[in-house]
Amino acid sequence: MINIKNLHKKFEKLTVLDGLDLTINKGGISAILGPNGSGKTTLIKCLLGMVIPNKGDILLDEENVLKKWDYRNNLNYLPQIANFPSNLSVIELIKMVKNLRPKESNEQELIDLFGLNEFLNKKLGNLSGGTKQKVNIVLTFMFDSQLVILDEPTTGLDPIALIHLKKLIKKEKEKGKTILITTHIMSFVDEMADEIVFLLDGKIYFKGSVDKLKKQTNETDLEHSIATLMS
């Protein structure tokens, strides 16, 4: 599904990605982990075409996507900070995104699921952070795409919404989607991820299943395994 070869990215003098190679197979949930500044977000943004790498290739389904834009039609992205134009209402934003992606969508189901019906006509500027994140989730999951990228999806969510989100992710996985998640909540990774990709100094430091990681670090607990990896 995803094939990244020799990816380099420098921000001025700071090297963030340093010859990164990564292959992620179709289907399943991969958690991208790493300490702050390890290049997680940069990697995702490269994938999305928001950050332009200095060197290297990114292939999705055998096709190079650098400098292209239409592949994003088959990609759903949940950004880290949900900040929307404050003058639009929720329903207007949803309509707008639908308008931008002429593709089937099931937003009503999701709106019902997260109880957003009463907020539909409210201005986005007046919503709480949690509600905004719910809207963010609706916008991400309402399209049927092969690749789903979630950047800190749990931010600001109440427990019920979190349960809904987990269900949603699992449902997508069952449909055979490829899902990438970055997060700092290890319990979430433990529960959801099939595979862990650990980034350090702009390179893949570890790649494999949760069990493999635990075994390799001789820890029973994921958090501790990760801590061991970092040290």
**52 lies in the site for another protein, by CB under 8 A:** yes
Please provide the distance, in angstroms rounded to a whole number, between the alpha carbons at the two ends of the chain. Answer: 31
Residue of 14, 62, 99, 159 interacting with another protein (CB under 8 A): 99
By the 8 A CB rule, do 21 and 5 touch?
A: yes
Taking CB under 8 A as the binding criterion, the range among 17-25, 46-54, 164-172, 193-201 that sits at the site for another protein is 46-54
Short-list 181, 161, 164, 152, CA closest to 29:
181
Q: How far is the CB of 88 from another protein (least distance, A)?
A: 6
C-alpha atoms less than 13 angstroms from C-alpha of 165 in its C-beta half-sphere: 26
Residue in this structure with the two tokens 């987990």, named with its chain if needed = 166
Pairing of strands 55-60, 203-208: unpaired
**104 lies in the site for another protein, by CB under 8 A:** no
Mask of contacts with another protein, 156-195, x by CB under 8 A?
----------------------------------------
Q: Which is nearer to another protein, 1 or 186 (CB)?
A: 1
Residue 90 buriedness (CB in 10 A; 0-12 / 13-18 / 19+)? buried
**75 lies in the site for another protein, by CB under 8 A:** yes
Q: Which is nearer to another protein, 124 or 196 (CB)?
A: 124
Short-list 166, 171, 226, CA closest to 32:
226
Residue of 23, 73, 106, 187 interacting with another protein (CB under 8 A): 73
Q: How far is the CB of 51 from another protein (least distance, A)?
A: 4
C-alpha atoms less than 13 angstroms from C-alpha of 109 in its C-beta half-sphere: 8
- Where along the sequence are the contacts to another protein (CB under 8 A)? 11, 45, 48-52, 69-73, 75, 77, 79, 81-85, 87-88, 92, 96-97, 99-101, 139
